[in-house]
Amino acid sequence: MVDMDTLVSLCKRRGFVFQSSEIYGGLGSSWDYGPLGVEMKRNIRDLWWRDVVHLRRDVVGLEAAVLMHPRVWEASGHLERFSDPMVDCNACKRRFRADQLDDVPWVHYCPSRKDTKFEVPAGEACAHCGERRILCPVCGKGALTEPRQFNLMLKTFLGPVEDEAAVTYLRPETAQGMFVNFENVLQATRRKLPFGIAQVGRSFRNEITPGNFIFRTREFEQMELEFFVNPADTVDGQPADEYWHQHWIAERLAWYRRYGIRAENLRLREHAKEELAHYAKRTVDVEYRFAIGWSELEGIANRTDYDLRRHAEVSGRTLTYFDDERKGHVVPYVIEPAAGVDRSFLAFLSDAYHVEEVRGERRVVLRFHPEIAPVKIAVLPLLKKRADIVARAWAIRDELARRWVTVYDDTAAIGRLYRRQDEVGTPYCVTVDVQTVGDAEKGETGDDCVTIRDRDSMGQMRVPIGEAALALGRLLGGAEWATVAGGYPTQGAKGNHDA
Ligand code: GAP
């Protein structure tokens, strides 16, 4: 598994992710998505939206405001309960989550070794004196305060007066937008249960210990679905909420697999009773084997009728559904698959990262699924000094760019250009060479063919320009390289620009 420092450095160098406000020294745990990152992030959002909203008959979309009425957070329980226990070091003043202190290695000045400084592995006792950690795990000197509850919502003020009446919060989850609009959506769309409301948007949490690159940040993006079911129904002999919960667990796991994440790096984890959120009857996480270890990628919760009931109580509105069959009102249960865009980004990136040796040289290649890859095609001229080659390459790029994200690059020799595209995961390169355009001075006409090169196998085939879009369309649509290349001459070692 690739380590985090390697990913952070690749992301910066190739324009996926930059440290926020870097010229001012950076803002801790805040990240900006660069030219490639923004394309890849958009792909993740779009694929989720396509699969969870457009391709389904029972889900509609929503885009709620980030700033909501403060009473939303009273009703949801966030004001009272959305907090973590926090401790401070009285020497170095660092702040930690009390429940995560033993998850990190700790610094220890061992009394049995003349106060020699050691780093002791997470959760273990010192091998020399047998002491367990009681002081600050980072400086190893300061005592820690008693745990205090720290609310994770980011507070702000609306309007010109910064008093209590003006306090509101940046939403800590997108979910509440769906609950408070339940009635509006029901009336506008005349939906029958079960149906879902989906949203992609930014959420904010004043995390005590953000970090690990884009894994845990204070501003992040969520892709959440609230899928409302009738608790009085049964499906296949099971209560409807339990049936649909299981359905969404399987769906969401399959989604990550569909876009290339390897099965051995994904697993499901059932929440123990004592860790369930206050609203949940059952929660299962999809976990990914990140560089930091197995961690949550997405949570899929059965939130029962908690949210609609609470909003009805606090707002005084009736948030029910009329059950035609039973001729009565019910409060729907909610199944919630809640994923993070940034965490998915990190998982897709980590999983795609491969290093291999090609003819004695190190090749870094991101084996992205074509739908995740930020750039689908790179058009490369073999000789940038030949105006006719350059003009033809640009024309092909412009044509392909109408359908796919396609770039042009002539800033190095062809072998290096291929490696650069491998390193950012571009599935196909199209090369325009002397053979394509011919040589007017020598009276030679070109063959009007280009070379298409496959990122993964590095195979190359010669395709007429007029058929290139069709061949690329088949490849990007999932056809095997061998199948498509079978219809065209392939390049031997002589014409192979990789060689
Ligand atoms: N509405 C339920 C909810 O928000 P959650 O497990 O707290 O549940 C859902 O968040 C997903 O949002 C997580 O699985 C994760 O992918 C993402 N997420 C949560 N907090 C995050 C943070 N501080 N930084 C990045 N992603 C975060």
> How many angstroms is it from 223 CA to the middle of ligand 1?
9
Residue 218 CA: nearest ligand 1 atom is 23
pLDDT band for position 125 (cuts 50, 70, 90): very high
Q: Residue 49 pLDDT > 90, yes or no?
A: yes
Nearest Cα residue to 435 out of 445, 421, 423, 422: 445
Pocket of ligand 1 (CB under 6 A): 173, 175, 205, 207, 216-217, 220, 222, 224, 296-299, 336, 338-340, 342-343
Mean pLDDT across 188-202: 98
> How many angstroms is it from 203 CA to the middle of ligand 1?
9
Mean pLDDT across 479-497: 81
For 57, list phi and psi in degrees, rounded to 5: -90, -10
Please give the pLDDT value at position 440: 85
- How many other CB atoms sit within 10 Å of the CB of residue 75? 21
Q: Residue 494 pLDDT > 60, yes or no?
A: no
Name the token pair of 417: 């250009």
Please give the pLDDT value at position 84: 87
More confidently predicted of 103 and 17? 17
pLDDT band for position 368 (cuts 50, 70, 90): very high
Please give the pLDDT value at position 1: 85
Q: What is the pTM of this model?
A: 0.92
Which of 82, 220, 266 to probe ligand 1 with, by most ligand atoms within 8 A of CB?
Answer: 220
Mapping DSSP to helix (H, G, I), strand (E, B) and coil, where does residue 79 land? helix
Q: Residue 361 pLDDT > 50, yes or no?
A: yes
Mean pLDDT across 85-108: 92
Mean pLDDT across 357-375: 96
Please give the pLDDT value at position 493: 47
Please give the pLDDT value at position 164: 85
How far are the Cα atoms of 66, 166, 182, 248, 378 from residue 160, in angstroms, in the given order? 19, 9, 32, 45, 51
Q: What is the pLDDT of residues 247-266, one digit of tens each?
A: 999 999 999 999 999 999 99
Q: Residue 318 pLDDT > 60, yes or no?
A: yes
**Please, what is the average pLDDT of the chain?**
95
pLDDT band for position 83 (cuts 50, 70, 90): confident
Q: Residue 71 pLDDT > 70, yes or no?
A: yes
The alpha carbon torsion through 119, 123, 124, 126 (nearest 10 deg) reads: 50
User: HSE on the CB side for 188, CA within 13 Å?
Assistant: 9
> How many angstroms is it from 391 CA to the middle of ligand 1?
47
DSSP string, 307-329: HHHHHHHHH-----EEETTTTEE
Please give the pLDDT value at position 196: 98
Residue 296 CA: nearest ligand 1 atom is 14
Return the residue whose CA atom lies nearest to atom 15 of ligand 1: 340
CB burial of residue 272 (10 Å; 0-12, 13-18, 19+): exposed
> How many angstroms is it from 492 CA to the middle of ligand 1?
49
Please give the pLDDT value at position 497: 62
> How many angstroms is it from 173 CA to the middle of ligand 1?
8
CA distance 426 to 352: 12
Mean pLDDT across 119-125: 94
Task: Judge whether 150 and 205 are in contact, CB under 8 Å.
Answer: no
Phi-psi region of 81 (alpha: psi -120 to 50; beta: other; left: phi over 0): alpha
Q: What is the pLDDT of residues 135-179, one digit of tens each?
A: 999 999 999 999 999 899 999 999 988 888 889 999 999 999 999
471 Cβ contact partners less than 8 Å away, ≥ 6 residues apart:
452, 461, 463, 484, 487, 488
